[in-house]
Amino acid sequence: MTTVILVIHLLIALSMITLILLQKSEGFASGGGMMGGASLTGMTQARSRANPLTRATAILGISFFATSLTLALLAKPNQESTVILSPSGLERPVGAPIVDIPADFPPAQDASKPLIPSVPMAD
């Protein structure tokens, strides 16, 4: 079933590319060259009615989106747990340290002592 939907998905993608390339651009609105993609004449003209090519492109776009979602749902493995942050097997007991501390790690220093030793100042 996944193979059939994948073939349909690829056919839709190729058809959509073909239809987009067949459509007439509105002035320099889609290319523009050095102007950044928009021209003043293209911005002041009224938009034309949707012709059959644009309607077919919209239909193919919606079907491409639908087949993409279908393929994503079919590719998802069946899982019983839907918890995202704590997958099973990775839980830690309450009160356990977040990182494992090696046994030969030096103990913590006394809080009353400064971390940097004091250096006598010269008069």
Per-residue 3-state assignment (H helix, E strand, C coil) for 62-122 = HHHHHHHHHHHHHHCCCCCCCCCCCCCCCCCCCCCCCCCCCCCCCCCCCCCCCCCCCCCCC
- What pLDDT does residue 49 have? 72
- Quick: pLDDT tens for 45-54: 666 677 888 8
Q: In angstroms, how far is CA 61 from the centroid of its own chain?
A: 19
Task: Report the alpha-carbon distance of residue 25 to residue 40 in Å, rounded.
Answer: 15
The model's confidence at residue 5, banded by pLDDT at 50, 70 and 90, is: very high
Q: Which amino acid type is present at position 80?
A: E
Q: Which amino acid type is present at position 20?
A: I
When pLDDT is averaged across residues 15-38 and rounded to a whole number, the result is: 70
- Quick: pLDDT tens for 57-108: 999 999 999 999 999 988 877 666 555 555 555 566 666 666 666 777 766 6
- What pLDDT does residue 34 have? 52
- What pLDDT does residue 65 have? 97
91 contacts 47 by C-beta, under 8 angstroms: no
Question: Is it the case that residue 118 has pLDDT exceeding 90?
Answer: no
